Amino acid sequence: MANLALRNLTKSYGTTKVLHGISLDVADGEFVVFVGPSGCGKSTTLRMIAGLEEVTSGEVVIDEKVVNNLEPKDRDIAMVFQNYAIYPHMSVKKNIAFGLRSSKLSRLEKDARIQEVAGILDMTKLLNRKPSQLSGGQRQRVAIGRAMVRDPAVFLFDEPLSNLDAQLRTQMRLEIKKLHQHVGNTIIFVTHDQVEAMTMADRIVIMKDGRIQQVGTPAEVYHQPANAFVAQFIGAPSMNMLPATLNGAGLELVAGWTIETPLRSDTARAVTVGVRPDDLRLDTGQRLVSGKVAVREPLGPETLIYVETDGGEVIAKADGRTPPEVGQEITLFADPADLHVFDAETGAVLQ
């Protein structure tokens, strides 16, 4: 059952169009992450779902009901903001209770609900504190609590972790994921951090310039990117892109060897070959390119090596114990099945 649907949603500010038709179905209880570079329209989409921003055209459907003309409070959603937006003049308890203002529960039921939420978020001891007496992570937890008490049909998160330091971010990431497994509400989560997207999402929506580039599970967008943008955006370090020509023999790398692939083209065609650093080998597979090791970055179990080739810099992963020396001439190999081929002009993947 779809509990949130976007139908050809567009948004214009004056004459500038910032969203060009967003369509998406989100199943009940799904954790969907919107990811994309800054300014691609993630927040705008989220705010239109919340009702904070007018819809220029298209429909927002929540629980089978078109909510375009409903006030935010009538949409059965709750939102957590990047800056937390918890009220500094109210105690933690009051802040959480604020989310229940418009509910019809009795006082006792409300109190019980607040206690329950505080329990889940491990905040029972902090209920009487003021926000100024809390750490950043605790403040964000209060904001989540305020959203949770209402038990909304859809939770909306707009980059809620970006103000936290790296360690806390990892921890909160896990907590939100656990929370989702516990409460089971639908979550729409916006971030520009692809690691956050990969680790948390059931499904990832990758956006660019107001358009959806691909929707899929983390594995799908990683292993079967729909275009060159997605391929480079997902995964760190990002996918190597090598210019090549596709012809009757296979792939002819501009600065490398020719690779025999099942993919052929009768007329020569300019393409880009993408290969992830993980998929590059130093010994087995088909020969791709060769070059000189410029820099090594030891990560422990493996070492990243930056190889200078005629086609530009290529990043590869090598063994952590015996990586090639800096300055050493090496050849990089790959399994043809691990290569992604994109049209050089449109960036669309070629099957």
Partner 1 sequence: MAVTDIRPTAASVLETKAPARARNMGQFIRWLLLFIGGILMVMPIAYMISTSLKWPHEVYNVNLIPEEPTLENYTYVLEDGRFYLWFVNSIIIATITTLSNLLFDSLVGYTLCKFRFPGRQIIFIAILSTLMIPTEMLVIPWYLMSQSFGWLDSYWGIMFPGLMTAFGTFLMKQFFESVPDDFIEAARIDGLNELQIWWTVAMPLVKPALAALAIFVFLGNWTAFLWPLIVTNSVEMYTIPVGLSGFGDEADVAWELIMTGAAISTIPTLVVFLIFQRFIIRGVVMAGLKG
Ligand X SMILES: Nc1ncnc2c1ncn2[C@@H]1O[C@H](COP(=O)(O)OP(=O)(O)OP(=O)(O)O)[C@@H](O)[C@H]1O
Binding site for ligand X (CB under 6 A): 13, 18, 36, 38-44, 192
| Binds partner 1 by CB under 8 A, chosen from 38, 132, 167, 267 | 132
295 binds partner 1 (CB under 8 A): no
- Find the part of the chain contacting Mg ion (CB under 5 A) among 38-46, 147-155, 262-270, 293-301: 38-46
| Binds partner 1 by CB under 8 A, chosen from 64, 101, 166, 322 | 101
Interaction pattern, residues 184-223, with Mg ion; x per rule: CB under 5 A: ----------------------------------------
Number of residues that bind partner 1 (CB under 8 A): 30
Per CB under 8 A, which of residues 47..86 are in contact with partner 1? 50-52, 71-73, 77-79, 81-86
12 binds partner 1 (CB under 8 A): no
Which residue number is nearest to ligand X in terms of Cβ? 43
Per CB under 8 A, which of residues 133..162 are in contact with partner 1? 135-136, 139, 146
First to last CA, the chain: 32
Q: Dihedral of the CA atoms 99, 104, 107, 112 (nearest 10)?
A: -60
91 binds partner 1 (CB under 8 A): no
Per CB under 5 A, which of residues 42..81 are in contact with Mg ion? 43
272 binds Mg ion (CB under 5 A): no
Nearest C-alpha neighbor of 342 from the set 235, 196, 244, 221: 244
Least Cβ distance, residue 42 to Mg ion (angstroms) = 5
Binds 351: which of Mg ion, partner 1, ligand X, none (CB < 5-8 Å by kind): none
7 binds partner 1 (CB under 8 A): no
- Find the part of the chain contacting Mg ion (CB under 5 A) among 11-19, 41-49, 118-126, 328-336: 41-49
Least Cβ distance, residue 82 to ligand X (angstroms) = 8
CB closer to partner 1 out of 162 and 238: 162
What's the distance, CA 80 to chain centroid?
17
- Find the part of the chain contacting Mg ion (CB under 5 A) among 40-48, 132-140, 216-224, 248-256: 40-48
CB closer to ligand X out of 44 and 213: 44
Binds 39: which of Mg ion, ligand X, partner 1, none (CB < 5-8 Å by kind): ligand X
Q: How many CA atoms lie within 13 A of 104 on its CB side?
A: 0
Q: What SS3 string covers the chain?
A: CEEEEEEEEEEEECCEEEEEEEEEEEECCCEEEEECCCCCCHHHHHHHHHCCCCCCEEEEEECCEECCCCCHHHCCEEEEECCECCCCCCCHHHHHHHCCCCCCCCHHHHHHHHHHHHHHCCCHHHCCCCHHHCCHHHHHHHHHHHHHCCCCCEEEEECCCCCCCHHHHHHHHHHHHHHHHHHCCEEEEEECCHHHHHHHCCEEEEEECCEEEEEECHHHHHHCCCEHHHHHHCCCCCCEEEEEEEECCEEEECCCCEECCCCCCCCCEEEEEEECHHHCECCCCEEEEEEEEEEEEECCCEEEEEEEECCEEEEEEEECCCCCCCCCEEEEEECHHHCEEEECCCCEECC
Two tokens, residue 209 = 């310039």
CB closer to Mg ion out of 189 and 306: 189
Residues in the chain: 351
Least Cβ distance, residue 301 to partner 1 (angstroms) = 35
Least Cβ distance, residue 198 to ligand X (angstroms) = 17
Binding positions for Mg ion, rule: CB under 5 A: 43
Binding positions for partner 1, rule: CB under 8 A: 50-52, 71-73, 77-79, 81-89, 98-99, 101-102, 130-132, 135-136, 139, 146, 163
